C-alpha cells in the first residue's frame, strides 16, 4: 500500500511540475508608466518616463528622462495622457514597447473629445 501511495505522490509531483512551466510560459514583461509627448507617427507614440535615482556618491536624488517609442494600434492615446507601456518583441528599429492602457486622460484630450461630440 505504501508503494502505491508513493508512486501516486510521485506522479502528482511530475504533473504539477509539468503544469508550472505551462502557467509561466509567457514571461512577465517589463512595464513602465509615463506621459505621451508625441503622436505624430501612425500607430506610434513617444512616451517619456521620469526616473528618480540617488547619486552613487553624493546621494542626491536626480531626475532623468528617457523616451520610449511604443506601438499604439488604435491611435487612441493623445499628447499629455499618462499611459502604461509593456515591453514586447522588436516591432521596428526603435519600437520595443506596446501600449497597455491609458491610465489617465489629459485635460486637453478630454476637451477635444467633448468638442468632437458636440
Residue-range domain boundaries for the chain: 31-117
- Average pLDDT taken over every residue of the chain: 84
* CB 83, CB 45: distance < 8 Å: yes
How is domain 31-117 classified at the CATH fold level? OB fold (Dihydrolipoamide Acetyltransferase, E2P) (2.40.50)
Q: Against a cut of 0.75, is the pTM above it?
A: no
Q: E-assigned strands of 11-96?
A: 31-41, 44-54, 61-71, 82-87
* In the predicted structure, residue 105 carries a pLDDT above the cut 70: yes
Which pLDDT score, from 0 to 100, does residue 24 have?
53
* In the predicted structure, residue 62 carries a pLDDT above the cut 60: yes
Which pLDDT score, from 0 to 100, does residue 11 have?
55
Element (H, E) at 2: helix 2-23
Secondary structure of residue 71 in the 3-state scheme: strand
Close Cβ partners of 44 (under 8 Å, ≥ 6 residues apart): 69, 70, 71, 72, 95
Amino acid at each position: 500500500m505504501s508503494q502505491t501511495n508513493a508512486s501516486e505522490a510521485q506522479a502528482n509531483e511530475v504533473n504539477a511540475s509539468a503544469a508550472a512551466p505551462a502557467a509561466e510560459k509567457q514571461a512577465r514583461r517589463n512595464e513602465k508608466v509615463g506621459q505621451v509627448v508625441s503622436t505624430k507617427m501612425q500607430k506610434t507614440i513617444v512616451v517619456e518616463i521620469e526616473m528618480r535615482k540617488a547619486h552613487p556618491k553624493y546621494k542626491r536624488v536626480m531626475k532623468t528622462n528617457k523616451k520610449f517609442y511604443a506601438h499604439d494600434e488604435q491611435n487612441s492615446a493623445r499628447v499629455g495622457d499618462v499611459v502604461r507601456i509593456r515591453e514586447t518583441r522588436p516591432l521596428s528599429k526603435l519600437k520595443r514597447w506596446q501600449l497597455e492602457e491609458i491610465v489617465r486622460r489629459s485635460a486637453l484630450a478630454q476637451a477635444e473629445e467633448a468638442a468632437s461630440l458636440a
